[in-house]
């Protein structure tokens, strides 16, 4: 009985102090310490919603955006290797990359049906606190799309 109370107390305290989730790779901690968000952009231009997302994240964390342009695949490799914190890309609805990265809520939609593409922020899998923060901010800046 004492053990159950202890486990319940632990869970409630974790819930109360908003301690969960944390990042296994410490992405959010790194952003806060370095005051830099390293972003990969898989296109020449970026839609307004994506710019708003980056501006809001930078403001929340008191950080500056370090932007790097490139092709989607090398950017995802960099994301997985912790050389980037975020990738902004226009991806197909059924993109196979969805299993390798954690896609945030939709920022902007182009086309319909099988030709539909979506602008999204892509994060490294498992960095759940950082993922949650980007998801919250994406929903705030593009509520209609998400």
Partner 1 sequence: MSAPRQPDEAMNRAMRLCWWQIGWFVTVVAVMGVVMGQSQTMKTAWIEDMLGFVPPIAFLVAARMERRPRSARFPFGFARANGLGFFVSAVALTAVGALLLVNALMTLAMAEHATVGSMRLFGHDVWLGWLMLAAQGYALIPPLVIGTKLLPLARTLNDKLLHTNAMMNKANWLTGAAGIAGVVGLGLGWWWADAVAAGLISIDIINDGWKALRSSAAELIDGAPRALDKPEVSPDARTLHATLDGRFPGATILMRETGRLIHVEIHGVDAPDPVPAREELWPCGGDSAWRLAQVTFTDRPLERDRYQELFSPGERQAPRQHRPGR
Residues of this chain that interact with partner 1 (CB under 8 A) are 11, 14-15, 19-26, 102, 124-128, 131-132, 135-136, 139, 146
Are residues 65 and 39 in contact, defined by beta-carbon separation less than 8 angstroms? yes
- The CA–CA distances, whole Å, from 70 to 14, 84, 89, 101 equal 40, 12, 10, 17
Output the six-digit token pair for 128: 């759940």
Question: Which CB, 21 or 47, lies closer to partner 1?
Answer: 21
What sections of the chain are H helices per DSSP? 2-16, 27-34, 48-61, 72-80, 128-141
C-beta of 68: minimal distance to partner 1 in Å? 23
Task: State the minimum distance, in angstroms, from the CB of residue 122 to partner 1.
Answer: 11
Which residue lies nearer to partner 1 by CB, 111 or 126?
126
Output 25 or 111, the one with its CB closest to partner 1: 25
* Nearest approach, Cβ of residue 69 and partner 1 (Å): 26
């Amino acid at each position: 009985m004492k053990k159950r109370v202890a486990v319940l107390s632990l869970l409630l305290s974790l819930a109360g102090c908003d301690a969960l989730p944390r990042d296994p790779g410490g992405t959010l901690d790194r952003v806060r310490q370095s005051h830099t968000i390293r972003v990969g952009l898989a296109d020449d231009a970026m839609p307004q919603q994506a710019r708003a997302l980056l501006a809001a994240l930078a403001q929340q964390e008191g950080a500056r955006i370090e932007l790097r342009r490139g092709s989607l695949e090398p950017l995802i490799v960099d994301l997985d290797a912790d050389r980037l914190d975020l990738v902004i890309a226009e991806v197909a609805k059924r993109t196979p990359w969805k299993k390798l990265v954690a896609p945030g809520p939709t920022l902007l939609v182009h086309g319909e049906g099988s030709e539909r593409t979506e602008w999204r922020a892509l994060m490294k899998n498992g960095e759940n606190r950082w993922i949650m923060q980007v998801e919250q901010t994406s929903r705030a800046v593009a509520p209609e799309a998400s």
